[in-house]
Amino acid sequence: MSEERLPSRLVFRVPPVAVLAALLLAVGATPFAFGAPGLWVIYLVPIAAIVWTLRTRTTATADGLTVRHVFTSRALPWSSLKGLRLTPKSAVYAVLNDGTEVHLPNVRTRHLPALALISGGRLDDPLAAGPRGSGDLS
């Protein structure tokens, strides 16, 4: 029996096919954009959507998490994490040792077993433990 190989990193992001939706928005906005002088700025909306889609992500490695937003990026080593906070809408926040919370973009509660696996045991898999309590993982 062969041993399962773990990936070196997991990337949680919006699927890149979402760029097509932004391009379709640009095509649909073309008649409006040329309707009057200055309305070409409507093209900033699909450009912003494309940049957001391609830039925003959470990357998990054996060293920790890297949270990337449109203009910022932050590395969170596993040692700086106190746990995770889950919201009723399946959003996940990293709770740091000092009590501050960092939103993990595109990470949902269904991804927690994968996060627990790549963390090397630093995070517990809440789904394996049974029903959720308060949503904190320590």
Write the CA distances from 25 to 8, 13, 20, 42, integer angstroms. 36, 21, 9, 10
Q: What is the pLDDT of residue 55?
A: 95
The pLDDT tens digits of the residues spanning 90-131 come to 899 999 999 999 999 999 999 999 998 998 888 887 666 555
pTM (two decimals):
0.78
Residue-wise DSSP of 67-101: EE-SS-EEEEEGGGEEEEEE-TTSEEEEEETTS-E
Determine the average pLDDT of the residues in 37-62: 94
Q: Which amino acid is at 17?
A: V
The pLDDT tens digits of the residues spanning 56-85 come to 999 999 999 999 999 999 999 999 999 899
The pLDDT tens digits of the residues spanning 5-33 come to 778 899 999 999 999 999 999 999 999 88
Residue 36 has pLDDT above 50, yes or no: yes
Q: What is the pLDDT of residue 136?
A: 52
Q: What is the pLDDT of residue 90?
A: 87
CB atoms within 10 A of CB 84: 23
